[in-house]
Amino acid sequence: MRVVGGKVKKTKATLMEFCQSADPSLNFQFRKSCNVPILTFTIKEHSAPHTNPLHINQPQLDYNTSECDLFNGTWVLEENDDSLYYTNFSCPTIPNSKNCLLNGRPDEEFMHWRWKPDHCTLPRFNAKIFLTIVKGKTMAFIGDSLARNHMESLLCLLSSEESPTVIYKDAENKFRTWLFLRHNFTLMVLRTEFLVFATERVINGSFTGGFDLHLDKLNGNWTQHLPNIDYAIFSDGHWFLRPNYLYENGNLIGCVYCGEPGVQDLGPGYAIRRAFQAAFKYINECEACSGVIVLLRTFSAGQFEHGAWNEGGNCNRTRLFAREEVKIGDQDWKFRSIQIEEIKRARKYGQNIGNMFELVDVTRAMLMRPDGHPGEYWGNKWMKGFSDCIHWCLPGPIDAWNELLLEILRRKFPTFH
- Look up residue 143 and give its amino acid: G
Whether the per-residue pLDDT at 58 is higher than 70: the answer is no
Instruction: Please report, rounded to a whole number, the percentage of residues in the chain having pLDDT higher than 70.
Output: 82
| pLDDT (0 to 100) of residue 294 | 97
Q: Which CATH number fits domain 3-416: 3.40.605.10, 3.40.50.720, 3.40.50.1820, 3.40.50.1110?
A: 3.40.50.1110
pLDDT band at 233 (very low <50, low <70, confident <90, very high): very high
55's CB contacts (< 8 A; 6+ apart) are 160
Cross-strand pairs, 255: 245, 265
Cross-strand pairs, 38: 14
Whether the per-residue pLDDT at 128 is higher than 60: the answer is yes
Helix spans in 234-329 (H): 267-285
Q: What sign has the CA pseudo-torsion 340, 346, 349, 352?
A: negative
Specify burial of residue 401 (Cβ count, 10 A radius: 0-12, 13-18, 19+): buried
β-strands 175-180, 165-169 pairing? antiparallel
pLDDT band at 62 (very low <50, low <70, confident <90, very high): very low
Instruction: Please report, rounded to a whole number, the percentage of residues in the chain having pLDDT higher than 90.
Output: 71
| pLDDT (0 to 100) of residue 415 | 56
pLDDT band at 1 (very low <50, low <70, confident <90, very high): very low
**pLDDT tens digits for range 12-32:** 333 333 333 334 333 333 333
CA–CA separation, 187 and 136 (whole Å): 11
CA–CA separation, 302 and 332 (whole Å): 9
| pLDDT (0 to 100) of residue 359 | 96
Other C-beta atoms lying within 10 Å of the C-beta of residue 46: 9
Distances (CA, A) of 409 to 81, 293, 417: 28, 10, 11
Residues with catalytic roles: 145, 388, 391
Whether the per-residue pLDDT at 121 is higher than 60: the answer is yes
**pLDDT tens digits for range 322-346:** 998 988 778 999 999 999 999 999 9
Cross-strand pairs, 192: none
With H, G, I as helix, E, B as strand and everything else as coil, classify residue 167: strand
| pLDDT (0 to 100) of residue 414 | 64
**pLDDT tens digits for range 132-178:** 999 999 999 999 999 999 999 999 999 999 999 999 999 999 999 99
Domain boundaries, the chain: 3-416
Q: Give the orientation angle of helix 145-158 with respect to helix 399-412, to 10 degrees.
A: 70
CA–CA separation, 13 and 100 (whole Å): 15
β-strands 11-14, 356-360 pairing? unpaired
Whether the per-residue pLDDT at 366 is higher than 80: the answer is yes
Q: How is the beta sheet containing 165-169 ordered, strand by strand?
A: 165-169, 175-180, 185-191, 138-143, 231-235, 293-297, 356-360
pLDDT band at 68 (very low <50, low <70, confident <90, very high): confident
87, 395 contact by CB (below 8 A): yes
- Residue 395, preceding peptide bond in cis (omega within 30° of 0): yes
| pLDDT (0 to 100) of residue 57 | 37
Whether the per-residue pLDDT at 275 is higher than 50: the answer is yes
Kindly report the length of the chain: 417
**pLDDT tens digits for range 346-364:** 999 999 899 999 999 999 9
- Look up residue 350 and give its amino acid: G
Region of residue 272 (phi > 0: left; psi between -120 and 50: alpha; otherwise: beta): alpha
CA–CA separation, 318 and 199 (whole Å): 39
